[in-house]
Amino acid sequence: MYNYYNFINETVLTHGKKDLNLEFNDKGRKMLPFIYYFTLNKYIILKRINFDEYQPNTNRVTFLTGSTYLDNEISNKRNYLLENKDFDNENYFFYKIVSYNFQEDNPSIVSIPYDETKFNDQLTYNNKVHFIVIKKNTNVTSVRININQRHTFGYNAEQTISDKFGWSLKNTKIKSDIVKVINGNKQKAFLTDILKTDLDTLNRYQDLFQINNINTPLNKYDLIIKEGEHIGKKIEVKKYNMRSLFYKDDIKPKTLMMAEQLKIATKPGLKKLVTLYHEMNPDIDVSFLLNNFNLDKGEKLSKFFRKDDNPIVEDIKKFYNDRINYMLNKFSEINNIMTDIFGIYFFNNKTGVDGFLILNHEINYTWRAVNSQWGLKRIKILFTINPNADKYVWIGNRKTFVKTFKVNDFDAYKELKRIDKISEHKPIIKNTDIGTIKWNSTEGYWESVDNYDDTKTIDLKKSYKNESGK
């Protein structure tokens, strides 16, 4: 699996990638031939086409070379135009630009299902089909493998676990509704409503904005166990291995993110914040922050916020963060976080051999306002794992979980990984509560066994003895 990610990140367009679609990376998004598409609020990809679909006459053609381009309508930095649009099938790959409308309730590239039937030809501003040509076996840094194909051709952890264990797939999200209380009446509110309220009013009326149904548990889970001892239990999935839960040189838990509630994550969102700040402070000139936005889609604005040397930008950050701190106090009143969850299943690769469950009572959840790259705080639910928690693994032939070694027992973890790398042997753990268990690589889960190869065994009692020092 790890080699697959090298495959994804490598930008050399080899024959092995010939049927894969592409998407722009940041540098490609800034190129003049493509800037137009990112004003449309659509998800744009480069769809791989056959040579007989390539129709350069009367259409737009861009030839991508390394980190630059040649285009038949717009000259590059060296003032060169693409004059010859004839490329042969033997030495070049051909693409055309297609688009997909974002979901109104969830405008996220990653969340869009990969379904080619939903992509339509995206015409240029002058109604031409836009073809992209890339020479085979060249390194093109302005594109990468389409992110939705990463899920399609790679793996989706929740789907993989569902298939292997027979659990129901049920993706949920944590979302709390904010309400504004006026004369005892509640009306739905948004971040914009909070930002438009001056700080004196917020401090004077501490209950002006509240979290609706504050005593309702906040739960996020991906899977539900369908049968066996734990039928109906809800499982959250996180893509970490055991070692990544702790700091390298100390058995101290890392603080990891479970969910976000309030944030500004996009450059258009940053622009809205600046505009709203100006509405609240009309005497302050913010035009220098936005005067290049239509051309570079917020790149200059982003750079202003990444630096701490402009007093107006710093005041905008304070304007925003003061209100986020106000809301953090509201969110912090919610104590029922993940209370209906059985535990978190940590799944790091497609084989699943090092996957494990940590029961929910061994996990600590906290609210925190964390700074983003722009110095704007985000309200997050964070979690840490008790280093002394027990690891549980799924016994597929019994439809139950069994306790193995402690989550901080890295010697046992290393041995598990070492044995799994030996192709003719698979990991075996003896002395669990149900006896000996063995990894079934065909099914992708652990199973209880009667006979086993004792030479390739992790002794659970020995593991706990090392941990306890007895």
92-116 pLDDT, tens digit each = 999 999 887 764 433 443 334 445 5
Q: Assess whether pLDDT exceeds 70 at residue 3.
A: no
Containing 144, the helix (H) or strand (E) segment is strand 143-145
Question: What are the C-alpha distances in Å from 150 to residues 19, 43, 99, 116, 298?
Answer: 13, 15, 18, 14, 27
Place of tokens 């051999």: 353
**pLDDT reported for residue 9:** 43
**Residues 459 and 394 grouped into a single domain:** yes
- Secondary structure letter of residue 198 according to DSSP: -
**Residues 141 and 237 grouped into a single domain:** no
**pLDDT reported for residue 15:** 54
Least confident of 63-67, 103-107, 134-138: 103-107
Q: Assess whether pLDDT exceeds 80 at residue 209.
A: yes
Dihedral (Cα; 459, 462, 467, 470), 10-degree rounding: 160
**Residues 274 and 399 grouped into a single domain:** no
308-327 pLDDT, tens digit each = 789 999 999 999 999 999 99
**pLDDT reported for residue 126:** 87
Dihedral (Cα; 17, 23, 25, 31), 10-degree rounding: 110
H runs (alpha helix) in 397-445: 410-420
The values of phi and psi at residue 195, to 5°, are: -65, -30
Q: 3-state DSSP call for residue 218?
A: strand
- Pick from 385, 408, 430: which residue ends a domain? 385
- Average pLDDT in the chain: 83
> Which residues lie across from 22 on neighbouring strands?
46, 145
Spatial neighbors of 216 by CB under 8 A, at least 6 apart, are: 336
More confident residue, 210 or 454: 210
**Residues 200 and 328 grouped into a single domain:** yes
Instruction: Decide the pairing of beta strands 130-135 and 60-65.
Output: parallel
Containing 97, the helix (H) or strand (E) segment is strand 92-101
397-450 pLDDT, tens digit each = 999 999 998 998 888 877 777 777 665 667 888 888 888 899 888 888 999 987
**Residues 178 and 252 grouped into a single domain:** yes
**Residues 79 and 191 grouped into a single domain:** no
153-176 pLDDT, tens digit each = 334 678 888 888 999 988 788 888
Give the chain's domain count. Answer: 3
Distance in angstroms (rounded) separating the CA atoms of residues 436 and 432:
6
Which domain, by its residues, includes 403?
390-468
Q: Assess whether pLDDT exceeds 80 at residue 250.
A: no
37-46 pLDDT, tens digit each = 888 877 788 9
Check: CB of residue 181 under 8 Å from CB of residue 241.
Answer: no
More confident residue, 361 or 244: 361
Place of tokens 């964390």: 370
**Residues 243 and 361 grouped into a single domain:** yes
Check: CB of residue 88 under 8 Å from CB of residue 100.
Answer: no
- Pick from 385, 413, 431: which residue ends a domain? 385
**pLDDT reported for residue 152:** 37
- Pick from 320, 352, 385: which residue ends a domain? 385
**Residues 104 and 6 grouped into a single domain:** yes
**Residues 232 and 276 grouped into a single domain:** yes
Place of tokens 């309400």: 179
**Residues 76 and 172 grouped into a single domain:** no
Spatial neighbors of 227 by CB under 8 A, at least 6 apart, are: 166, 399
**pLDDT reported for residue 17:** 58
**Residues 183 and 331 grouped into a single domain:** yes
**Residues 171 and 147 grouped into a single domain:** no
